[in-house]
């Protein structure tokens, strides 16, 4: 009669153990989290152990369709048990790497966690099952959403190197990463679809280690052609002026400025560089929340004799119209500055901004770009502007760190 009660006690103990991140894998491997919580979710889940010695050689892998594939044949797993080895050679190859002195590491993006399409425990249980079959220790880093740890950002690698390798510095020349998101176009091999992105290849490039596709690493196939599919940030920097512009855009007399540009096109940077230091009051929906509040703050600023810069996307005549009417009411000129930042560069800047702020400023979702495109009407003088100026984006970096982050590959537009 006491068995059901004993089983309930055991089940409760297991749940408590899992809640603490403990596993029965051995080697002291336990789960933890890193980064600032966002909407109740930590950005990075980590499986590691202080008992593992640091190693200078790292053999790192993506998980889905690199180490494993779905047993069901579907694109997305139907549950934590819907997996099998990507190829029969995989477990033996991974174990031999451990014997050769490599630290085995999995780096994986799991945006479905943030989207609530998959539970964190489902991913953890699958990972633990994989490691149990391998019977060798593996450190695992799971990015839970579209945050600053998401590949191709190198932050997961940096976290491993700085916090999970017992102060042993990884030798990048002896390390590598294997993944299936390699930028291979449609038709790269018979009956093979186009890769969904180039994020794994970019991740390796951003880290500075060698990259292989699963076909190259496990099957010994030749490297396939590929396309980065995004703006090359280093080449872009080489194409723009390197000296600071001495041009002045502000006016001594009171005025109202309306900025126009796609999300993350550099509007706020432009405002902070040229107008706010000269006494202009910036109004922005990102900080104020609504157009009505923007209009209220703009009205108060104009009423006190100050100039105003409207730092919103302002895609349509109607979006700009309310501010033009406000300028007319106060009898001040209204100029328009139209940022000519390309869509590809804006997508890149969107991710750069998120990474530079360590996730403090979240990326604008694709719907923001789609809405801008849907509503866009080219600024015209007949709206009431006294001047319309087209402005090219020229990067200005506050630090070497910001510049280095800008130079990293991003999956801009993907």
CB 13 within 8 A of CB 4: no
Tally of structural domains, the chain: 2
5 part of a folded domain: no
pLDDT score recorded for residue 393: 87
227 part of a folded domain: no
321 part of a folded domain: yes
- The domain boundary, picked from 192, 219, 246, lies at 219
Q: Report the C-alpha gap between 161 and 394 in whole angstroms.
A: 33
| Local mean pLDDT, 10-residue blocks, the chain (414 residues) | 58 67 94 88 95 97 98 93 97 98 98 93 97 98 96 98 96 98 94 93 98 98 95 93 72 96 93 94 92 96 97 96 97 97 94 93 91 96 97 89 96 69
Structure-token pair, residue 211: 């990259």
Please spell the DSSP secondary structure of 244-287, one letter per residue: PP------SS--EEEEE--TTSSHHHHHHHHTGGGTPEEE-HHH
146 part of a folded domain: yes
Cβ atoms within 10 Å of 98's Cβ, excluding its own: 17
pLDDT score recorded for residue 248: 86
Quick one: 278 and 366 in the same domain? yes
Please spell the DSSP secondary structure of 78-97, one letter per residue: SSTT--EESSTTHHHHHHHH
pLDDT score recorded for residue 328: 97
CB 352 within 8 A of CB 237: no
- The domain boundary, picked from 199, 219, 239, lies at 219
Quick one: 272 and 205 in the same domain? no
412 part of a folded domain: no
> In degrees rounded to 5, what are phi and psi of residue 391?
-125, 125
pLDDT score recorded for residue 14: 65
Q: Specify the pTM.
A: 0.90
Quick one: 215 and 342 in the same domain? no
Q: Report the C-alpha gap between 314 and 283 in whole angstroms.
A: 12
Quick one: 188 and 67 in the same domain? yes
pLDDT score recorded for residue 38: 78
Sorted by sequence, the CB contacts under 8 Å of residue 380 that are 6+ apart come out as: 317, 388
414 part of a folded domain: no
Query: Which residues span the domain enclosing 403?
Result: 256-407
CB 355 within 8 A of CB 401: no
Least Cα distance to 57 among 105, 127, 108, 109 occurs for 105
Cβ atoms within 10 Å of 375's Cβ, excluding its own: 14
- The domain boundary, picked from 164, 198, 219, lies at 219
């Amino acid at each position: 009669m006491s068995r059901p009660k004993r089983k309930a006690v055991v089940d409760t103990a297991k749940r408590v153990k899992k809640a603490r991140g403990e596993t029965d894998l051995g080697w002291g491997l336990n789960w933890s989290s890193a980064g600032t919580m966002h909407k109740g979710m930590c950005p990075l889940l980590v499986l590691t152990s202080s008992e593992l010695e640091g190693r200078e050689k790292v053999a790192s892998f993506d998980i889905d369709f690199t180490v494993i594939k779905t047993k069901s044949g579907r694109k997305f797993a139907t549950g934590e048990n819907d997996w099998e080895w990507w190829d029969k050679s995989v477990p033996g190859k991974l174990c031999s790497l451990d014997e050769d002195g490599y630290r085995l590491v999995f780096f994986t993006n799991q945006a479905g966690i943030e989207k609530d399409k998959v539970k964190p425990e489902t991913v953890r249980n699958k990972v633990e099952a994989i490691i149990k079959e391998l019977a060798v220790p593996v450190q695992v880093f799971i990015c839970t959403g579209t945050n600053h740890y998401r590949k191709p950002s190198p932050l997961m690698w940096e976290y491993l190197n700085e916090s999970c390798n017992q102060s042993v510095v990884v030798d990048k020349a002896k390390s590598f990463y294997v993944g299936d998101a390699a930028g291979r176009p449609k038709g790269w091999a018979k009956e093979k679809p186009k890769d969904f992105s180039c994020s794994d290849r970019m991740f390796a490039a951003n880290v500075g280690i060698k990259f292989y596709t699963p076909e190259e690493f496990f099957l010994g196939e030749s490297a396939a052609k590929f396309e980065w599919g995004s703006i090359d940030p280093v080449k872009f920097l080489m194409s723009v002026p390197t000296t600071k512009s001495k041009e002045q855009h502000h006016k001594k007399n009171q005025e109202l400025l309306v900025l126009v540009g796609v999300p993350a096109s550099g509007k706020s940077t432009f405002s902070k560089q040229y107008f706010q230091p000269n006494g202009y009051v910036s109004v922005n929906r990102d900080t104020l929340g609504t157009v009505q509040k923007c209009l209220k703050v703009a009205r108060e600023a104009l009423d006190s004799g100050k100039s105003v810069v409207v730092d919103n996307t302002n895609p349509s005549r109607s979006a700009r119209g309310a501010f033009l009417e406000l300028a007319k009411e106060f009898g001040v000129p209204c100029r328009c500055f139209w940022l000519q930042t390309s869509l590809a560069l804006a997508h890149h800047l969107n991710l750069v901004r998120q990474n530079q702020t360590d996730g403090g400023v979240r990326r604008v979702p694709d719907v923001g770009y789609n809405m801008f495109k849907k509503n866009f009407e080219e600024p015209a003088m007949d709206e009431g502007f006294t001047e319309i100026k087209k402005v090219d984006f020229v990067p200005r970096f506050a630090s070497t760190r910001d510049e280095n982050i800008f130079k990293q590959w991003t999956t801009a537009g993907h």
